[in-house]
Amino acid sequence: MSSDKRAALDLYAPPSNGGSDPGPWLDEIEFQFNPAELALVKGASWARHNVRSAPRAAMPEFTGSQPRVLAMTLLLDGSDQRGRSVDARVKKLLDCCVPTEYSIDAERPSPPWIRFRWGDFSSVSFLACLRKIQVTYTLFSPQGSPKRAVCEITLEEIGGATKGQNPTSGSPTSRRAHTVVAGDSLASIAYQELGSAQSWRAVAELNGLRDPWRLSPGRQVLLPGREGE
């Protein structure tokens, strides 16, 4: 049996309070084939003001950090192990550009937030929105059903609270998060963050973890509030 880690997109509910922490884990989109390449872009904004009397160019002024942008290609071929067709899996990706029903009911329309996950590859694992998806169908059945598709997707970093701000302040529905490191378990995280290893079940339930014993370094685990919070 292969021990290769399969890349995936974790889907989270958008925050209902307009904060920078996502809601509960909703679902995952597991890749059939790990990506052959990933394109990561990060930039910084600088402003330069012309000075007529200066013999050299004026010093630039840093005006802000730009979000990370991650581009990749997903290959979909035939039906997956759960029997889902190519068309059904493409629709699941397209739904990441559509507000969730809960966010509409909460009057804060937003598509799900996304985190790319692949082993301990942390530089490309960040909370993001699906900025763009382009699907090219390359094979069809005689009945006209798509049998193969190439999906080019672009994820843009959402960002978060600036340094010095408390991301848990404000609404009581805000959530703290723990970034997983090698050797972490749900029990150790619960003991470190909540003061009781027995709270690991609450952590697993909040994050929708189907296998609470498998945690990938770099992944963020949302934390329930302590008693009294």
**What pLDDT is stored for residue 186 in this prediction?**
85
Q: Give per-residue pLDDT as tens, 116-168.
A: 999 888 899 999 999 999 999 999 999 999 999 999 999 999 976 444 444 44
Tell me if 28 sits within 8 A of 9, measured CB to CB.
Answer: yes
**What pLDDT is stored for residue 90 in this prediction?**
95
**What pLDDT is stored for residue 59 in this prediction?**
78
- Per the prediction, the chain carries an average pLDDT of 83
Tell me if 113 sits within 8 A of 11, measured CB to CB.
Answer: yes
**SS3 state of residue 84:** coil
Of 53-57, 103-107, 224-228, least confident by mean pLDDT is 224-228
Name the DSSP letter for residue 171. S
**What pLDDT is stored for residue 164 in this prediction?**
42
**What pLDDT is stored for residue 92 in this prediction?**
94
**What pLDDT is stored for residue 18 in this prediction?**
67
Q: Give per-residue pLDDT as tens, 42-99.
A: 999 988 777 777 677 777 888 888 999 999 999 999 877 777 789 999 999 999 999 9
User: Which domains does the chain possess?
Assistant: 1-44+63-161 (2.40.30), 176-229 (3.10.350.10)
- 9: which strand partners? 29, 116
For 181, other C-beta atoms within 10 Å of its C-beta total 13
